[in-house]
Structure 1
Amino acid sequence: MPKSVDLRLAREETSLRLLLVNRLRDLILDGDLHPGQKLVERDLTELFGVSRSLLREALQQLQAEGLIVNVLHRGPSVAVITEHEAREIYAVRALLESRAGRDFVENAADAHVEALSAAVAALRDPDVQGDAHRQLVAKNEFYAALLEGGGNATIAQLLKQLNNRVTMLRRVSLSQPGRLSETTKELEEIVEAARARDGDLIASLLSAHVDRAAALALAHYDLAPGGAAES
């Protein structure tokens, strides 16, 4: 390493950038910033009280995550997931989660099974049922336990890369009348398959769960060219 170069990180700026990235991500995933919405730098710097350079760094990170697009001469906007992209995402999810279920059955400790069960139990909580954000948190905790118990780092990384766009789509599917109850029942069946250490069954149930979510989300796409999922 060249001794003449100061390689120390600006800790305060790094922390602020991380806070800004997390806040913007939450606004997108919660639907406060909706797909296709233009992001005006001047407005955002005033809203968050940050510099334009710091904002641009945060937007670049979210662009790398697939949550923001930056079109020449138009500037940044919240990404729109097209129907074709959504179909691809769900197809990949089904394959990866099916494999993750088999890995879970083979490798998970009993504590991981209990973590799965606890996440599903949270979805039965009346307070959670009335809060879309807490529903998404519970589902994310379910998948975190599934992936940790499975121990397949490659699948975990691939699903992590998909997770933000999956969450945008999940808001659509979970918002449908009766879907939360159906989702909870499906996840409870997955937990029981995990307890039984039945690899074939858990793989089938996870794949079917994704297929049902896909059907609901895809049904709410505008059929016009370039249509996007309703939020």
Structure 2
Amino acid sequence: MAGRIAAVSIVEAIAADLRNRIFTGDLVSGQTLTETDVASTYEVARPTAKASIEKLVAEGLLDRGTHKTARVIELGPESVRDIYLARAYLESEVLRRLARDKAVPGDAVLANSEIAALQSGAPLDVVEPDMRFHLSLIDAVGNERISRMYRSLVGEVRMCMVRVQSLHLLDNALIHNEHQRILELIESGQGDAAAQLLDEHLGRARERLVAAMGGTAGPEAALPSTLD
């Protein structure tokens, strides 16, 4: 039993490092990742390397067809739209449900305060608390399956967020202020208004990223903040 726990720990550690390398751009879109490369880099056996790769395939960060080498996923404009719309469907309903009870998650408040305190730094400095803000809202509903569904998107969502921040498409103050307003709307029981602001919040990021990737941006890209 102890051996199995150690093996899982190694797989998790390698997967975590590979995940971070993808998010930071060390492993770029379309880059191949073979079991031999991973085994050599981390000095582990091929089965361990394979398990680490399969974990990231399951998270949507790597793509691998049958009997093919894994590659870092390549996100195009339509993929970005699919990812953002999928999360918007889940998050919008979650906000409405939280607002019914006027339940503001403490973890979301804390994550947003971290965004407010950021002055500068690497893209991931913003992405981590931003992601925790949204995850906290999802988890606050207390539905295991909803949390699981949302987490199936998290890898791809993080990739989009890192790209948004790397390209300086959104200002930290705007992110913080709209998060804060969403929490205030939840606290006052205004679920529909919170969901509407979320749609604007995500839609602006989505369409600006689409444009940066060579696609045609929708009108959401030019949306002014309703807080101005």
Settle same-fold status: TM greater than 0.5: yes
Cα deviations by residue, 1:103-140 (Å, 9 ceiling, x for unpaired):
22234645x1x32222111112135x323222111012
8 A Cα contact 1:100 1:152, kept in partner: no
Deviation of 1:170 (Å): 1.0
Specify which of 158, 165, 176 is matched with residue 149 of structure 2: 158
Shift of the 75–86 alpha-carbon distance from structure 1 to 2, 3 Å rule, reads same
- 1:82 counterpart = 2:76: yes
Q: How does 1:14-163 map to 2 (within 5 A)?
A: 14-71=8-65, 75-107=69-101, 109-110=103-104, 112=105, 114-126=106-118, 129-163=120-154
> Structure 1: how far apart are the matches of 2:192 and 2:103?
18
Judge conservation of contact 1:35–1:80 (CA < 8 Å) in 2. Answer: yes
1:140-219 pair list within 5 angstroms = 140-175=131-166, 176-219=168-211
Matched letter for residue 26 of structure 1:
N
Length-normalised TM-score, structure 1: 0.83
Highest Rg: 1 or 2?
1
Cα displacement string for residues 49-98 of structure 1 (whole angstroms, at most 9, x for unaligned residues): 11122101111121122111125675121111232222112222222111
Aligned-residue sequence identity (percent) comes to 25
Aligned residues: 214
- Determine the C-alpha separation between the residues in 2 that align with 1:103 and 1:94: 14
Q: Secondary structure at the match of 2:71?
A: strand
Structure 2 unmatched runs, 5+: 216-228
Aligned mates of 1:201, 1:166 — CA distance in 2: 23
Tell me, yes or no, if the aligned pair for 2:102 and 2:189 is still in contact at 8 Å: no
Question: Residues 95 and 207 of structure 1 are in contact (CA less than 8 Å); yes or no, is this contact kept in structure 2?
Answer: no
